[in-house]
Amino acid sequence: MSAAQSSSLEESKLEDLECHFTWDLNASRSKLCFIRDSLEDIGVEGGSSWLGHIYNLQGFVHYQLGCEEKALRFLCRATEAFSQMRNTVSDDGPWLVVNYGNLAYVHHLLGDRSKSQDYLSKVDVLLNAHPSPNQEELHPEVCAEKAWTLMWFDKGQLATEYFHRAVRMQPDMVEWQTGRVLGLVNGYKHRMESLGVDILEKMKIAKEHDPQNLHLAALYLHARGAKGQHIEDEARGLARKILSKPDSSYSGLDPLLRLFRKYICMDEAIDLAEEALQRQPDSRYIKRCAAICYRRRIFVQKSSPDPKILDRGISVCEDVVALYPESSLKMQISIAEIYAKFNQVRAEEIFRELLEKDLDPEGSQMLFSIYARHLFFKKQEDESIHYHKKAALVPTTTYFRKKSINQLEKIAERRHPRSREIHEFLQNLHGPSF
């Protein structure tokens, strides 16, 4: 076989792999930084059934961010973690298919064909030694890892489908059953009142099968609270359990504080966040949770907020920005919005500083849309329209683009002096059928 044929065959094998590099995990740099930081916040104290998957995804994310050496280190950690967590006589098993695929791909991208071919051979050996129980499906271990990964890229529906396939072939894996339910719930995180009774029942069953999963327990209570059930006593009991756990974004603290903010008491949510910080003052994740509580507390109060709440809220938010330098744009914008309640000059300074930054399209779109809203409340409607249009022109479909387009539509419909101009802008944006 010629060198060209050999290279072509290798590339064909790489394209056929089931691994992070072939799953169309496209994301902006800000999204990748957010995932990287969130994975770090999970923590590894006490181990985790998803530890291998965590390291695998960290390897992929670090490679996408241009950190090749870190990528290889995390992928090698994933190999070790899978072997340790599975606790089997053999080091090899179907749970390593994705990991070896990632390693084959990275070594290929780094120009090390020998190592790449070595890992491709290992994948072939694993697939032959551990065929899928259903020949028409991927192996359940691959389905589960693919599902878990897709959830990080906001592909909840597809993730749920892959979890369902994995559970159908291997129903004894409790964490996969929990993952399937979390995939179903993921799209309802901010609108739990729309959650169907069937999903609520599935959450209840998953919670019974996975009683140690406090993240799931908090989400279940949140869902019940959204349905009007009295959950106060259970929530306070769950809070004691969560606060006693090691620092981890899987601890359940975030959904717990969210349910307290929405269905119990905003100030009690802040008290819980502060208690968590007293217990673990070095946790940046807990500080982020606390900052969100203060932000919500300040934004929902129509009268002038308590100066102590303002000072503490700004302080915590600024700490979070320092702790998450590459994934805290939304928090930086929130600081500007907080200042807008009592110091317009400082708020404008922060917004202007952010507008001068070199942001990716997703970040720019969010900033334009929120700044447009800020200008509207300052009675600067022409400037507000300008920034809503800038947000709409960014060709990235997000919540903020939809929000800006909706606002422009409302302005155009109320006989505004610029209605015709806005109508024409929207027609060009959507096409002649608009």
| pLDDT tens digits, 167-213 | 999 999 999 999 999 988 887 877 888 888 999 999 999 999 999 99
For residue 354, give the nearest of 345, 366, 343, 342 by alpha carbon: 366
Tally DSSP H helices, then E strands, for the chain.
22, 0
* Residue 188 contacts residue 202 (beta carbons within 8 Å): no
Neighbour count for residue 201 (Cβ, 10 Å): 10
Q: What is the largest CA-CA distance in the chain?
A: 77
If pLDDT is split at 50, 70 and 90, which confidence band does 430 have? confident
Residue 434 confidence (pLDDT): 40
| pLDDT tens digits, 389-414 | 999 999 988 899 999 999 999 999 88
Q: Which residue has the higher pLDDT, 121 or 84?
A: 121
In whole angstroms, give the CA distance from residue 385 to residue 405.
10
* Residue 387 contacts residue 424 (beta carbons within 8 Å): no
In whole angstroms, give the CA distance from residue 34 to residue 31.
5
Average pLDDT rounded to a whole number, residues 334-349: 94
How is residue 71 written in tokens? 């990528």
Q: Which residue has the higher pLDDT, 250 or 286?
A: 286
Quote the pTM value.
0.91
Average pLDDT, the chain: 91
For residue 102, give the nearest of 127, 128, 76 by alpha carbon: 76
For residue 146, give the nearest of 87, 194, 94, 195 by alpha carbon: 94
If pLDDT is split at 50, 70 and 90, which confidence band does 431 have? low
If pLDDT is split at 50, 70 and 90, which confidence band does 433 have? very low
| pLDDT tens digits, 292-324 | 999 999 998 877 778 899 999 999 999 999 999
* Residue 354 contacts residue 336 (beta carbons within 8 Å): yes
In whole angstroms, give the CA distance from residue 49 to residue 137.
23
| pLDDT tens digits, 131-174 | 999 888 999 999 999 999 999 999 988 999 999 999 999 999 99
Residue 276 confidence (pLDDT): 97
If pLDDT is split at 50, 70 and 90, which confidence band does 43 have? confident
Q: What is the CA radius of gyration of the chain?
A: 24
In whole angstroms, give the CA distance from residue 88 to residue 84.
8
Question: What one-letter code names the amino acid at 34?
Answer: F
If pLDDT is split at 50, 70 and 90, which confidence band does 45 have? low
pLDDT at 282 over 70: yes
